[in-house]
Amino acid sequence: MRGPVCPRCPHHGPVTLADVAPTVMRALGAPMTNVDGIDLSPVLSNPQSAIRNLQSRELYAESFAPLVEFGWAPLRAVRSGSWKLIAAPKPELFDVDKDPASRRMCWPRSRRTRAGSKRAFPATRPSR
């Protein structure tokens, strides 16, 4: 990322599009409150110290475009630590620390991660 706030700030922690508005508004001098995203200014000014706070975030995403446009199932996802769960008719679970491109499914391998993902999405069941 480059810009007037941060000439060069590489960052690899979990962020979301909801973080853009609070960050930009803070840079413009008008901080936002009571919004879903967070101000990433501390990460831009000191990436090493602020990254630890971002690693503990849980992020949620959803898209109803498949449902609205095609009559398919909506998609939901949760990112927690190194785990990324995509709740779809056939759930997908990835360890993004070991597999950043999300190419190797982890769902059937770990009983502990299956239990945690079922708590996050109780109606989601793995396909057989």
**94 domain residue, yes or no:** yes
Q: Which of 41, 37, 46 is nearest to 15 (CA)?
A: 37
| pTM over the 0.75 mark | no
pLDDT tens digits, 101-124 = 989 988 765 566 556 656 655 554
pLDDT tens digits, 73-86 = 999 999 988 889 99
Q: Are residues 44 and 76 in the same domain?
A: no
Q: Are residues 51 and 62 in the same domain?
A: no
pLDDT tens digits, 3-39 = 455 555 555 677 888 999 999 999 899 988 899 888 8
Per-residue confidence (pLDDT) for residue 90, from 0 to 100: 86
Per-residue confidence (pLDDT) for residue 76, from 0 to 100: 93
Residue 64, C-beta contacts closer than 8 angstroms, at least 6 positions apart: 74
Domain at 77, CATH number:
3.30.1120
Domain containing residue 39? 17-55
